[in-house]
Amino acid sequence: MLVAERHQKIVDLVNERSSIRVTELSEIFSVTEETIRRDLEKLEKESKLLRSHGGAISVQEDEAEIHFSERVITNVSEKKAIAHEAAKRVKEGDRIILDASTTAWYMAKSLPNMPLTVITNSMKVIMELSKKEKIDIISIGGKVLSQSLSYVGPLAERSLNMYHVNKTFLSCKGIHLEEGLSDSNEEQALLKKKMIERSDEVILMADSSKFGQRAFSLIVQPGEVNEVITDKHINQVSRQALEEKNIKVTVVQ
C-alpha cells in the first residue's frame, strides 16, 4: 500500500469511528506504531485529524446519520466483497429482508435475477432490484429519511409484523462485543431490531472498521446474529469472541 493511500484510509477510519488508537492502526496496516505516529503527526499538520494520547480523533463534525452518497464511497472494495459473499446465501424461492445499508445495496446488485421475495426499507435497493423482473419487491413504507434514502418509523415497523422471512441481511454503525450492535439513528436501530425478530436467520454484513465501535442506539446483542461476514482486517480478538458466542464468522479477501 502506498503511503498516500494509507494516509487516506487512516483519515477515513478516524472520521468513521470518531477516534482510534495507534495500536489498532498499526495492526490494521501491518506497520510499526512509530510509523503510525509519524503518519498522525503529518495528518495533524494538514488539519485532517487531531492527535490524542495513544491515538487520534476526528475533526469532522458529528452527524446523526451520514448521507448515502458519502457512505457509498467508504470502504468500497470491502463492502462489495462482503455483499458478493452474502448474495451466495440466497437461494431460489427465498424470502429475505435487506436493510438500507450501502452493503445491502451492493448485495442487491449481486443478486441473480431469480424467483425471490425481498422486503426492504431502502429506496436504492428497490431501484436496483426493479431491474430484475423475477424478483418480487415489497417496500415497507413509512417516514422518509433523506440521508439514507430509506423508510423508518412506526408504519415501517408495523408493516414488518405482517411478514416472516428466511433470512435478514443487514449492517450497522458499530459492533461492540459486550454492548451489542448499534446504529447512529434511533429509528433505524428500532427497525433493524424488528427485521431481526421477523427472520429465521440473521446475517450481519460488516467491514472490520465497525468492530469495537458504539453508536447512539442499541439494535440487539451480538448473540442475535447467526453469521458475520467481514473482511480480512478483522482483529483476532473480535473474531474469537464472536466464535465463542457460536456466531459463524466468514472472512472475505
Enumerate residues 6+ apart whose C-beta is below 8 A from 169.
86, 89, 96, 97, 98, 99, 104, 107, 203, 205
Question: Burial of 34 by CB count in 10 Å (0-12 exposed, 13-18 middle, 19+ buried)?
Answer: exposed
Instruction: Classify residue 248 by its DSSP letter.
Output: E
Asked if 198 contacts 169 with a C-beta cutoff of 8 angstroms, the reply is no
- Considering Cα of 93, then 221, then 82, then 148, what sign does the dihedral take? positive
Domains and CATH numbers, the chain: 3-57 (1.10.10.10), 68-252 (3.40.50.1360)
| pLDDT computed for residue 31 by the predictor | 95
Tell whether pTM > 0.85.
Answer: no
Take residue 97 and report the three cell numbers written for it.
Answer: 429482508
Task: Measure Cα distances from 155 to 4, 134, 161, 181 in Å.
Answer: 46, 27, 10, 23
Closest CA to 212 of 230, 183, 247, 238: 238
| pLDDT computed for residue 63 by the predictor | 46
The pLDDT profile of the chain, 253 residues, written as one tens digit per residue, is: 789 999 999 998 988 777 888 999 999 999 999 999 999 999 999 888 888 878 888 876 444 455 555 555 566 889 999 999 999 999 999 999 999 999 999 999 999 999 999 999 999 999 999 999 999 999 998 999 887 889 999 999 999 999 999 999 999 999 998 889 999 889 999 999 999 999 999 999 999 989 988 888 899 999 999 999 999 999 999 999 999 999 999 999 7
Closest CA to 211 of 20, 48, 1: 20
What's the full length of the chain, in residues? 253
Enumerate residues 6+ apart whose C-beta is below 8 A from 86.
103, 107, 110, 169, 203, 205, 229
Instruction: Classify residue 53 by its DSSP letter.
Output: T
